[in-house]
Structure 1
Amino acid sequence: MTSTGHATPGREAPAEGRPRSALRQLAAASVGNAAEWYDWYAYSFLAVYFADRIFPTGSGNSLVPLLSTFAVFAVGFFMRPVGGLLMGAVADRHGRRTALTVTILLMGGGSLLVALTPTYASAGLLAPILLVLARLVQGLSVGGEFAASTTFLVESAGPGRRGLFSSFQYVSTTVGQLIASGVAALLAHLLTDAQMSDWGWRVPFALGAVISLVGFWIRQGAHETRSAEQRAAARPGLFEALRRHPRESLLICGITTGGTIAYYTWTTYLPTYATVNAGFDQGDALVVGTVSLAFFALLQPVAGALSDRIGRKPLLIGFSLGFAVLAVPLLRLVTDAFVSLLLVQGAGMVLLTGYTAVAAAVNAEVFPARVRAAGIGFPYSLTVALFGGTAPYVGTWFTQAGHPDWFPWYVALLCLVSFCVYLVLPETSRRPLDT
């Protein structure tokens, strides 16, 4: 990692215009990020309700609509690398705040389109086409969101606080997911299954469009974190980060592989996994998910602050080794009992925090400021698309193929890959951040 001469060991030079109040920067990033991820996660929580409304059942197999809906979930993820590259370039060229305002408007528009998507019975092929279009827009948005907000948060942090600040990436992500899960659980208990499948699933998406507008308004008060030198310098090329920093790009992929499969399995797919494989009640699964997410959000700042004291590597190694060893026995413990799912999800959240609390800091510390957003955005989003976005589909496909026990081994293997990367990863917590 290079230094520009404006930062000395133990201190980072503040970007011009950085506000004195760190809370203001945290609020601007976190509230908007929560709105973004509420819209994104509402889809996965409600998929079981609208799957057969958008996709027809095929060959007498009741899992076909659910598989099709999760395939669209994965398609949205494959727009994330494009979003990470394009919105990351916007952040590096025109500022972090500009990129953040664009991403949240895209997400709100995609959410509104999902809410208005007609059923297959009324519109035929137009229904799945519109749903795919909406997820492509949202994938573009969320891919750029992580790159811009990660960079914004870490650059807003003072000396010795990058881990703490970076933890709010997943605090706000989890809050958005928590709201989505809570809204879905509330509707599931207030409405009948027929009402949820008929019209209830549309309500959270319409609400998401409104929340995105609130996030957009809040982000207008954020202060740009790019330094005066960055703004005066020539704009970086679209592929400059990949061309000049191939090792760092590959490192981001290795850091992310185990984290993303574990994250999307435990925070997104687990309720559906319990429903499909253990006959768990759909409404109760959403309640367990909501409780677990609240617990998860509380853990993030504690672990983030701890990483500023002891380093990033101990937490990353603990996370990856824990999942490599425990993913299989934990998922095998899932039954139709409420307590079993709660304990399994809670235990996974503790392990997962070792990755989520420090991921933003580690990623930002790998790249120089000039190409930081785009450098993070593309390899991170590509890895998430390959292994995170496909997790629900792969898990459901294993079940349909008659091998539900294969999925836990798949999760463990990918976490083992990241464990090997973490062993050789340099410790970056005490290095000055390039500005």
Structure 2
Amino acid sequence: MKHTDSPRQQRRILLAVGIGTTLEWFDFTLFAIFSLHIAKTFFPAQDQLMSLLATFVTLAVGFVARPLGAFLIGRYADRHGRKKALILTMNMMAVGTVLIAFCPGYSVLGYGATVLLVAARIVQGLAAGGEIGSALAYLCESAPAARRGFFTSIQQVAQAGSFLLCGLFASILATVLTPEQLGSWGWRVPFVLGVLIYFVGVYVRRTIDESSAFQAHARQGIEVPAKEILQHWRSLVLGIAFVALWTVCTQLINFMPAYAQAMLNLDAGKAYYGITLVGFITLLSPLGGWLSDRWGRYNVMLLGALGVLLLAYPAFLALKQNPQDSGLMLLQAGLAMLMVLYAGPASAALAELFPVAVRSTGISVAYASSVVLFGSFTPTLVTLLYRHTGDPMMAAYYLLAATLVSFVALMVARQRQAANTARDFHDQAA
């Protein structure tokens, strides 16, 4: 952040950005964790696996709405400011959370309940599409260049906070409530908490100042047309590929409770504990950002991607051959550790691809598009592939495919960076 910022202002900026990200991932993670109960509540229950698939499709609908929200809210942030956009996304996210928390089920409203659930996910998808770009643009523009990787990793810390809250609530509810109580009303309790988080978050966001970089850009009075983002199509493609591994790995970790129960015949409750463990590990994300400030974004991210390429297949194979709760938790923890190295620097790497004039739009569109293309249908595709093959290894194959996409993009980006550095050196020498 600016060196002139007081410690109090620095904490307020981090809190304002972090709490919105926490609410976004808190709600999303809850939806994935309690997918079995949501399926029984909002969809006909003749076929449990088909109801589960319908729930995953509903989850994916929210992701499909993200690119539209990314473009609209990203443009809003690039024209009117990061602060206004952050408040807008917070309000929209709260609307969706309230609907999910209090909407009656299929037994009361029939398909009307299903429609309301889908509507809630669309509103949340629009908000989430704009949140990531506005938040990362704000953090990137408020941080000193030499510490940008460290400070933008607050996005991952906020995600870790949501994992911890979700894992904690899921574990407590699974312990103190009967399965019938949890499926009937208990799963709604954490969503109500999400509404309370909103009031704190919107208050804090109203107290922050606009980033100095955006203020300087706004003073120039230059109106940037919407099509300007297309001039940066190479950066968009790289950004989409960067996020592929990030989003697929996150979806798989969230999917583990359903994966454990439906495909490995394990206790889903143990996977809830694993998500709590993932939350604690993800708190180490600033370490990945800090390392990237010293060794380079792409070098540290490549190390994380290489770890996934080498370890994913044997880890999933061992779990398939010997399904155990301890093995499932070890897999979750291993993926989380590798994401510390990959996703920790990824926020800064994504933000640095775009100039101030289109930064929020670029981040938002790249991130949301990747989530739709690679992440949103992860649970659905893995479940469908398992239904047709009966092979739990489908999850590993999909993860490896996404990792290859990100690995190749990182190699291209590193080569591109080296070429730009060499060109700048020759220009200065001339």
TM-score (norm 1): 0.90
1:38-97 CA distances to partner (integer Å, 9 max, x unpaired)?
122211111112211211134xx3211111101101111011111111111111111111
Distance 2:227 2:104 in 1: 39
In structure 2, how many angstroms separate the alpha carbons of the residues matched to 1:157 and 1:229? 15
Q: Which residue of 1 aligns with 2:155?
A: 169
For residues 256-271 of structure 1, the aligned pairs below 5 Å read 256-266=243-253, 268-271=254-257
User: Partner of 1:197 in structure 2?
Assistant: 183
Q: Letter of the 1:86 partner, please give it.
A: L
Deviation at 1:18, TM superposition (A): 6.0
Aligned position for 1:331: 316
**Aligned twin of 1:117:** 103
Question: 2:327 is aligned with what amino acid?
Answer: S
8 Å CA contact 1:88, 1:144 repeated in 2: yes
2:124 pairs, out of 138, 154, 170, with 138
Q: 1:164·1:301 contact (CA, 8 Å) conserved in 2?
A: yes
**Alignment partner of 2:276 out of 271, 276, 290:** 290
What amino acid is the match of 1:51? A
3-state DSSP of counterpart to 2:145:
coil
TM-superposed CA distance for 1:199, in Å, is 0.9
One-letter identity of the residue aligned with 1:338: D
> Over residues 169-208 of structure 1, what are the superposed CA-to-partner deviations in whole Å (9 max), with x where a residue is unaligned?
1111221232122212211111111001111111111221
Structure 2 counterpart of 1:373: 360
Match status 1:400 vs 2:387? yes
DSSP-derived class of the 1:425 partner: helix
Contact 1:51 1:69 survives alignment (8 Å): yes
**Letter of the 1:363 counterpart:** L
- 1:208 corresponding residue in structure 2: 194
| Separation of aligned partners in 1, 2:351 and 2:278 | 28
Which letter maps to 2:12? R
Alpha-carbon separation, structure 2, partners of 1:285 and 1:256:
25
Mapped contact 1:281–1:336 kept (Cα < 8 A):
no
- Cα distance between partner residues in 2 of 1:42 and 1:235: 40
Aligned partner of 1:382 among 369, 376, 391: 369
Structure 2 residue 30 is the aligned partner of structure 1 residue 42: yes
**Pair 1:52-2:37 in alignment:** no
Q: 1:79 aligns with which of 43, 55, 65?
A: 65
In the alignment, does 2:78 pair up with 1:92?
yes
Q: CA 1:354–1:428 in structure 2 vs 1: closer, same or farther (change >3 Å)?
A: farther
Contact 2:287 2:340 in 1 (8 A): no
Q: Residues 353-382 of structure 1: CA distance to partner in whole angstroms, max 9, x if unpaired?
A: 222101110011110001100011112201
1: CA distance between counterparts of 2:262 and 2:113?
Answer: 25
Q: 2:87 aligns with which of 101, 120, 143?
A: 101
Residues 40, 410 of structure 1: alpha-carbon distance in 2 compared, 3 angstrom cutoff: closer
The alpha-carbon deviation at position 164 of structure 1 amounts to: 0.2
Asked if structure 2 preserves the Cα contact closer than 8 Å seen for 1:88 and 1:377, the reply is: yes
Contact kept in structure 2, 1:269 and 1:392, CA below 8 Å:
yes
Please tell me the residue identity of whatever aligns with 1:390. Answer: F
The 8 Å contact of residues 280 and 337 in structure 1, kept in 2 or not, is answered as yes
Provide the C-alpha distance between the structure 2 equivalents of 1:144 and 1:258, rounded to a whole number of angstroms.
Answer: 20
What amino acid sits opposite 1:235 in the alignment? E
CA distance in 2, matches of 1:202, 1:421: 40
Counterpart CA distance in 1 for 2:133 and 2:365 is 8
Aligned Cα RMSD in Å?
A: 2.2
What is residue 6 of structure 1 aligned with on the other side? none
Structure 2 residue runs of 5 or longer lacking an equivalent are: 425-430
CA distance in 1, matches of 2:91, 2:417: 34
1:208-357 aligned within 5 A: 208-225=194-211, 226-232=213-219, 233-241=221-229, 243-266=230-253, 268-297=254-283, 299-334=284-319, 336-357=323-344
TM-score when scaled to structure 2?
0.91
Please give the alpha-carbon distance, in whole angstroms, between the structure 1 residues aligned to 2:318 and 2:13: 42
Contact conserved, 2:70 with 2:365, CA < 8 A, in 1? yes
Q: Secondary structure at the match of 1:287?
A: helix
Contact 1:91 1:148 in 2 (8 A): yes
* Structure-2 separation of matches of 1:119 and 1:39: 18
Aligned 1:56-71 pairs, distance under 5 A: 56-58=44-46, 61-71=47-57
C-alpha displacement of 1:153: 1.0
Matched, 1:414 2:402: yes
Tell me which amino acid in the other structure corresponds to 2:292. S
- Check conservation: 1:333, 1:344, Cα contact below 8 A: no
Superposition deviation, residue 332 in structure 1 = 2.4
Number of aligned pairs? Answer: 414
CA distance in 2 between counterparts of 1:27 and 1:222 reads: 10
Provide the secondary structure at the position in 2 that maps to 1:397.
helix
Is 2:20 the counterpart of 1:32? yes
Partner SS state of residue 160, structure 1: helix
Question: Partner of 2:226: helix, strand, or coil?
Answer: coil
